[in-house]
């Protein structure tokens, strides 16, 4: 099976992009939404050699999961400080015995 994912505009049958991973294809759809409204998702399909994978509501769900994962990553990157600021990095030291 190919590891290529296509984003297809179903109204014009144009391939808008080809990506090596499903995640990169979803990222591209998110970028498309920065200049298009949410209804545009009804015209898009992420597909691979096996056939359509994400379209309509399943594509919306994938975008919601992507956003939630990004928020979790950003939250954990801020560190565990009480004020939400990142923990300062400490220089590595070597110890000789």
pLDDT in tens, 23-52: 999 999 999 999 999 899 999 999 999 999
> Looking at the chain, how many residues does it have?
97
More confident site: 80 or 32: 32
Give pTM, 2 decimals: 0.71
d(CA 88, CA 3) in angstroms, rounded, equals 40
User: Considering the domain boundaries, does residue 89 fall inside one?
Assistant: no
- Cα 71 to the chain's mean position, in Å? 12
Q: Which tokens sit at 7?
A: 């984003």
Does pLDDT of 64 surpass 90?
yes
**pLDDT at residue number 92:** 58
User: Considering the domain boundaries, does residue 86 fall inside one?
Assistant: no
d(CA 25, CA 47) in angstroms, rounded, equals 9
**73: pLDDT confidence band, cut at 50, 70 and 90?**
confident
Domain that includes residue 29, residue range: 5-76
User: How many domains are contained in the chain?
Assistant: 1
């Amino acid at each position: 099976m190919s590891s290529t994912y296509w984003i297809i505009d179903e109204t014009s049958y144009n391939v808008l992009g080809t990506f090596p991973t499903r995640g990169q294809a979803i990222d591209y759809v998110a970028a498309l939404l920065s200049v298009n409204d949410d209804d545009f998702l009804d015209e898009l399909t992420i597909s691979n050699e096996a056939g359509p994978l994400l379209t309509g509501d399943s594509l919306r769900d994938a975008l919601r999961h992507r956003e939630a994962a990004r928020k979790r990553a950003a939250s954990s990157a801020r560190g565990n400080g009480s004020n939400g600021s990142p923990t300062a990095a400490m220089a590595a030291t070597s110890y000789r015995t």
